[in-house]
Amino acid sequence: MSQETLRDYLREKGLTARILIFANHTMTVEDAERELGVSRERIIKSMLFTDEKGGVVMGIVTGDKRVDAKKLRACCGAHEIAFTRPHVVKRVTGYEVGALPPVGHKNHIRTFIDAKVMTFDKVYGGGGAVNALLEIDPRDIRTVTKAAVVNIGKD
């Protein structure tokens, strides 16, 4: 999938989100922070995890935090959870690690958003390509993914 596919998804859902394209890659929080000139709290990380049964869940946190695996396990009812391998992320979502947007995936993914993300009116996450970022209202992420807002962040 591509940023064009993501753009089509946003249009189809009626979201006012924007895809921002940069000359340099924006795969890390530090890169995105440098390109945007905003605080890392406004940059979100959308990460895919696999449970012991092979099911996948997404955890979304602000750029100054990590997903606390123990908290995420408790939220999704898993006994074990680990980062999903990159080739599985691509197969399940249609996007590469480092370009993974919080919305618009090939398959529906059970999603958990850290409560801190919801304190902002707009956040920036993967935009479907390694040099693109998605500017989006976190309430729109919650709505289209049917995400649960929980406390999964870890300093």
Task: Kindly state the tokens that stand for 41.
Answer: 């709290």
Q: How many CB atoms lie within 10 A of CB 146?
A: 9
Fold of the CATH domain 3-154: YbaK protein (3.90.960)
Spatial separation of the C-alpha atoms in residues 9 and 16, rounded to whole Å:
11
Is pLDDT of 3 > 90?
Answer: no
Grade residue 93 by pLDDT with cuts at 50, 70 and 90: very high
Q: Taking residues 72-81, what's their average pLDDT?
A: 95
Q: How far is CA 12 from CA 5, 6, 9, 144, in A?
A: 10, 10, 5, 11
Is pLDDT of 4 > 90?
Answer: no
pLDDT at 1: 65
The answer to whether 154 touches 68, Cβ cutoff 8 Å, is: yes
The answer to whether 68 touches 152, Cβ cutoff 8 Å, is: yes
Spatial separation of the C-alpha atoms in residues 119 and 100, rounded to whole Å:
22
The model's pLDDT over 111-145, given as tens digits with 9 standing for 90+, comes to 999 999 999 999 999 999 999 999 999 999 999 99
pLDDT at 24: 92
Q: Look up the pTM and report it.
A: 0.95
Q: What's the mean pLDDT when you consider all of the chain?
A: 94
Which residue, 23, 114, 28, is CA-closest to 65?
114
